[in-house]
Structure 1
Amino acid sequence: MPTSTAPPSGTGVRADSVDAIQRELTAFARRARSMASQIHPGLTLVTYTVLDHLHERGGCRGTDLATHFMLDKSTVSRQVASLERLGLVERTADPEDLRGQIIRPSTAGEQLLNDVRARRHQAFLQRLADWSDEDLERFAAYLTQYNDRA
């Protein structure tokens, strides 16, 4: 059986690095939560995330959202209802099962997402302007590797 050369997780440089990563990811998440209400006064991070997922998928059923986000159907239903009240999503009959409905971003929802992506892209460009191309490539690769393990 191979032995690990890494120090125990509770001590040393490795533990300090993990603590720093946790602290910085928490700060990143706080900024994301704060940004959701700046995007639209009625949005929360959860409703924004649902809207973005609907865009990425081209629409889906509420049960698919519940499965993806590991949430109760009633929780998803409340989030979708909130997005509907804001005019950011619309429902259409599911062509594969007429009893179900497909939820998609409305034209207003798509426009909001496009505006947010453009602003976010500019913010990242400004924040990372003095990073070298190599550092950006490494950072992107590390984030991808981290998220692929989720």
Structure 2
Amino acid sequence: MPDENVEAGNRREAAVETIQREMTVFARRARASAGRLHPELSLVSYTLLGHLEEQDACRATDLAAHYALDKSTVSRQVTALERAGLIARRTAPDDHRVQVLHLTEAGTAILAKVTERRRDVFHHRLHDWPEADLLRFAEYVQRYNRAAEGE
């Protein structure tokens, strides 16, 4: 029995190492492909625009907290997106001291364009996967991301 437990522990450790390595490769490829899909829109910018679309609007501090980013990093990104005409600041209706970020028409359009390109890439990469594998993979990625939310 002890040998079986050790062997199971070794298999589990090897699996975790493989997942860590492959997730790192995935992240690197995601950053690199973001630049190719739309050179003016970094992966961080794409992510921030997507969050603004999902939330309809939010404060820069909300973005920083949600993505666990430094406020200065978000501030630079927000300034660049604002200069590019992709987002606009508006005063919050309930508190005039608060600036809320909104997507502009140009921001919505570019986000839709990049999202469609990204979706096409995923469809291409996964086109020959059996449906059961796709469903299982989607479930595992969601499960992993839910587990990471509390960190």
TM-score interval w.r.t. the shorter chain? 0.7 to 0.9
Shift of residue 91 of structure 1? 1.1
SS of residue paired to 1:64: helix
Query: Structure 2: which amino acid aligns with 1:148?
Result: R
CA contact (8 A) 1:42 1:86 kept: no
**What RMSD over aligned residues (CA atoms) do the two structures have, in Å?**
2.1
1:74 aligns with 2:72: yes
Most deviating of 35-44 and 16-25: 35-44
Deviation, structure 1 residue 8 = 8.7
Equivalent residue in structure 2 for 1:55, among 53, 56, 78: 53
* Cα 1:44/1:125, change in 2 over 3 Å: closer
Any unmatched runs of 5+ in structure 2?
A: none
Q: Name the SS of the counterpart of 2:17 in structure 1.
A: helix
User: Bigger shift: 54-63 or 41-50?
Assistant: 41-50
Letter in 2 for 1:110: T
Report the Cα distance in structure 2 between the residues aligned to 1:6 and 1:65, rounded to whole angstroms.
Answer: 44
Q: State the TM-score, normalizing by the size of structure 2.
A: 0.85
In the alignment, structure 1 residue 85 sits paired with structure 2 residue 83: yes
**Identical pairs, percent:** 50
Point out the structure with the larger helix share: 2
Deviation at 1:134, TM superposition (A): 0.8
Judging changes above 3 Å, is the alpha-carbon distance between structure 1 residues 25 and 63 closer, same or farther for their aligned structure 2 residues? same
Aligned with residue 141 of structure 2, among 140, 143, 148: 143
> Retained in 1: the 8 A contact 2:61–2:71?
yes
